[in-house]
Amino acid sequence: MALTKRIIPCIDVDLDEDGNPAVYTGVNFEDLKYTGDPVEMAKAYNESGADEFVFLDITASAEGRETMLDVVERVADEVFIPLTVGGGIRTTDDIKETLRAGADKVSITTGALERPELVNEGAKAFGSQCIVISVDARRRFDEEGEHYVEVDGESCWFECTKKGGREGTGIDVLEWAAEAESRGAGELFVNSIDKDGTKDGYDLPLTEAVCETVDTPVIASSGCGGPEDMYDVFTEAGADAGLAASIFHFDEHSIEETKEYLDEQGVPVRL
């Protein structure tokens, strides 16, 4: 056997009206609906055969961050698989606090786009293995990109966005992926604004293009509607891990069922 493909459930955690942490699941980064308690969900996923667990803090406030570090601690105490925590990380102190709370890796999006040195600093201080650079990519069918990919018969490039796709940066995802890797990123987490919440499959051209650009492991995210989509992203796009939220949260598919399907198709997974 060899290294297996990883199946990773992800929770987006915000504060509810009473200030308590709660998991929300959305469509196209919008229309969030309440899904559950983060610690209970983490516990359940730990026992369900998940290979890793991703916790994204989607609160924007400073007081939210304090609460979230406390939740990360409680989640870390329940999870005996690798834990990645992202959301609002902008400084090496943020990285340190998050790792100290029990995260094994941090996922950084905007903080690294705005100040790329953060990647070098984080990798030097804590090791590349814990620095995950996350991109929220959006397809653009205009002349402003650097690397073009064929999608449904049309040529497009992928732009790095901020604020869940609400703000463009003009930065080409493939340029940024290569730069992040050379600065010391240990993994790349590839989200697609176009596919998020659609359940009609991962953005395969995007994932494939990133996998061809970098040597570090690539985690595909956004759009997973079931085990078949995981199969496609592993075999066609070359992803090392597949992330999903809603299909697992709402019990449409279990992790076990997903892995059994992949195993039957000859994809190496941890059963």
Partner 1 sequence: MSTVSSDQTQSLASVVVVDYGLGNLRSVTRGLERAGADVEITDDPAAFEAADGVVLPGVGAFREGVENADPLREDLLAVADSGTPLFGICLGMQMLLTTSEEGDNDGESAVQGLDLVPGTNVRFADGQKVPHMGWNELEVEREHPLVEGIDGNYAYFVHSYYAVPDDEHATVATTDYEREFPSIVANEEGNVFGTQFHPEKSGETGLQILRNFVEICTQR
CB of 222 closer than 8 Å to CB of 201: no
- DSSP symbols for 135-179: EEEEEE-SS--SS-EEETTEEEEEEEEEGGGTEEEEEEHHHHHHH
3-state SS, 57-98, equals ECCCCHHHHHHHHHHHHHHHCCCCCCEEEECCCCCHHHHHHH
Asked whether position 81 contacts partner 1 by CB under 8 A, the answer is yes
Q: How far is the CB of 75 from partner 1 (least distance, A)?
A: 11
Catalytic residues: 12, 136
The only residue of 108, 233, 241, 255 in contact with partner 1, by rule CB under 8 A? 241
Q: Report helix, strand or coil for 208.
A: helix
Q: In this structure, what token pair is assigned to residue 26?
A: 């959305």
Which residue lies nearer to partner 1 by CB, 138 or 183? 183
Q: How many chain residues bind partner 1 (CB under 8 A)?
A: 29
Asked whether position 2 contacts partner 1 by CB under 8 A, the answer is yes
Identify residues 37-66 at the interface with partner 1 (CB under 8 A).
46, 51
Provide the mask over 177-196, with x wherever binding to partner 1 is found by CB under 8 A and - wherever it is not.
Answer: ---------xx---------
- Cα–Cα dist 212/82, whole Å: 25
Identify residues 122-161 at the interface with partner 1 (CB under 8 A).
126-130
The only residue of 26, 28, 69, 82 in contact with partner 1, by rule CB under 8 A? 82
- Cα–Cα dist 108/185, whole Å: 10
Asked whether position 4 contacts partner 1 by CB under 8 A, the answer is yes
Q: How far is the CB of 86 from partner 1 (least distance, A)?
A: 17
- Give the binding site for partner 1 (CB under 8 A): 1-4, 6, 46, 51, 76-77, 80-82, 99-100, 102, 104, 126-130, 186-187, 215-217, 240-241, 270
